[in-house]
């Protein structure tokens, strides 16, 4: 068999078998070239919200394609971008008034960092430190990697990364340490922004913390005039139980990053929302205060049309009820593992459920990860453990029987893997 020239992401081709092709998608399923139906229990890297090929979003793409391809967004605007911006500012936390488009979650974070540093530069205040949280992950471009946790993901690229100040993850009963450390950083007067994944740190191991901690960090940021950047790329669009995770803390970030579920997962698109103060700091007759950022495909009209359709799905369909139903199914299913010595740290945030398999060597490179992934695929499931961390984040159309199958597979696969440890 001829080896494909394709280089797949996060894939060690020396260890992986030939990669199967998906020939179609439908609802919560991927259908591969052998006709296997695979339950997409990770929403294809957390992007698919309502299910694959939602009719309203597919139709919107088809219609937009009749009128548009790509339009230079520095010179022109178009109806899908304008309508989407109005819709986003209407549903986002109050006070976010401006929308800057880019292509991915990582680029939305890059935009946020440049907005924050540009804001302080333009108002003549020296603020050049970025604060982040331990175990965070914000993407794979240089700025986003710099704000993420240092380790196997970025060790080879260390010479390119800039320094940041790191908060300890707020472990249960140790939340005050995180708040105190943030205040200590802010006392320097040099902190431009805090960049944080609200409520759930995704790629860092589905680590979860409470809304009270999030509110406490925002209060400190306000007190020291530090900008608060919420990376809602993964947590947005219902994943934590509300449209945006920040809602649960009752806060409005100064800057909010969104992507993944923005188009329901159908097409790549990102948006960085900000307050009027940040926009106004770049609004000047002095061209040197321009926000110098773009990408060639910024605000692609077809992707924007898909996102507008996604907003309409949220408005016109009982999506909140589906989210609540999935949340309840997790809540009912997880107790089976609570007294099980094979697992620890059973946790849930909205539609996300996670648990850690107890093994001698954990972490992202734990050998049990690829082994479990293979066993799950044999059972018709796309579940990609983060090392020994097993998580489920299915689309909102998943049924109770389908989710039950996933939980039964977790039970079975854990036993098989541990027998070989």
253 touches 196 (CB < 8 A) = no
Contacts of 225 (CB under 8 A, 6+ apart): none
As a whole number, the mean pLDDT across the chain is 97
Residue 184 is predicted with a pLDDT of 98
Q: Is the pLDDT of residue 77 over 90?
A: yes
Average pLDDT over residues 229-258: 98
Quickly state the pLDDT bin for 344 (edges 50, 70, 90): very high
Calculate the alpha carbon distances from 119 to 28, 254, 278, 348 in Å: 42, 11, 6, 36
Report domain extents, the chain: 56-316, 318-419
Quickly state the pLDDT bin for 153 (edges 50, 70, 90): confident
Q: Is the pLDDT of residue 130 over 70?
A: yes
Contacts of 345 (CB under 8 A, 6+ apart): 354, 355, 356
What percentage of the chain carries pLDDT values higher than 70?
100
Residue 242 tokens, joined? 């509300």
What percentage of the chain carries pLDDT values higher than 90?
97
Q: Is the pLDDT of residue 156 over 80?
A: yes
Distance of CA 89 to the CA centre of its chain: 19
How far is it, in rounded angstroms, from Cα 108 to Cα 270?
6
Fold that domain 318-419 belongs to in CATH: 3.90.1150
377 touches 38 (CB < 8 A) = yes
- Return the SS3 of 313: helix
Average pLDDT over residues 393-416: 98
Work out the burial of residue 159: count CB atoms within 10 Å of its CB; fewer than 13 is exposed, 13-18 middle, 19 or more buried. Answer: exposed
Quickly state the pLDDT bin for 420 (edges 50, 70, 90): confident
Q: Which of 106-120, 177-191, 356-370 has the lowest mean pLDDT?
A: 356-370
Residue 1 is predicted with a pLDDT of 60
Fold that domain 56-316 belongs to in CATH: 3.40.640
Residue 2 is predicted with a pLDDT of 76
Residue 102 is predicted with a pLDDT of 98
Span 197-206, pLDDT tens digits: 999 999 999 9
């Amino acid at each position: 068999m001829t080896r494909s020239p394709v280089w797949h992401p996060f894939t060690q081709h020396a260890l992986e078998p030939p990669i199967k092709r998906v020939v179609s998608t439908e609802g919560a399923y991927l259908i591969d070239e052998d006709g296997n139906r695979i339950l997409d229990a990770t929403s294809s890297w957390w992007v698919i919200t309502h299910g694959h090929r939602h009719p309203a979003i597919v139709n919107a793409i088809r219609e937009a394609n009749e009128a548009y391809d790509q339009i230079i967004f520095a010179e022109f605007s178009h109806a899908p971008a304008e309508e989407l911006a109005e819709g986003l500012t209407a549903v986002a936390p109050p006070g976010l008034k401006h929308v800057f488009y880019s292509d991915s979650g990582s680029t939305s974070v890059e935009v946020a960092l440049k907005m924050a540093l540009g804001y302080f530069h333009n108002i003549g205040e020296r603020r050049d430190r970025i604060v982040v949280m331990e175990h965070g992950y914000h993407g794979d471009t240089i700025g986003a990697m710099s704000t993420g946790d240092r380790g196997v993901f970025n060790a080879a690229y260390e010479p390119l990364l800039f320094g940041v100040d790191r908060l300890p993850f707020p472990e249960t009963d140790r939340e005050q340490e995180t708040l105190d450390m943030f205040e200590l950083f802010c006392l320097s007067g040099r902190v431009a922004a805090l960049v944080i994944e609200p409520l759930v740190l995704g790629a860092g191991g589905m680590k979860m913390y409470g809304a009270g901690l999030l509110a406490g960090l925002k209060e400190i940021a306000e007190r020291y005039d530090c900008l608060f950047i919420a990376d809602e790329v993964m947590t947005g669009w219902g994943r934590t139980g509300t449209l945006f995770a920040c809602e649960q803390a009752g806060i409005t970030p100064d800057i909010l990053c969104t992507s993944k579920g923005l188009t329901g997962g159908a097409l790549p698109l990102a948006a960085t929302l900000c307050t009027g103060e940040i926009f106004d700091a770049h609004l000047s007759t002095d061209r040197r205060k321009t926000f110098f950022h773009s990408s060639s495909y910024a605000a692609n009209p077809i992707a924007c049309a898909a996102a507008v359709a996604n907003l309409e799905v949220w408005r016109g369909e009982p999506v909140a009820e589906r989210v609540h139903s999935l949340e309840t199914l997790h809540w009912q299913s997880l107790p089976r593992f609570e007294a099980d010595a094979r697992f620890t740290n059973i946790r849930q945030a909205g539609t996300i459920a996670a648990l850690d398999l107890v093994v001698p060597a954990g972490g992202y490179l734990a050998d049990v990860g690829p082994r479990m992934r293979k066993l799950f695929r044999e059972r018709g499931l796309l579940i990609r453990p983060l090392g020994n961390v097993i998580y489920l984040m299915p689309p909102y159309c998943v049924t109770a029987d389908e989710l039950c199958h996933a939980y039964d597979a977790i039970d079975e696969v854990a036993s098989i893997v541990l027998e070989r440890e």
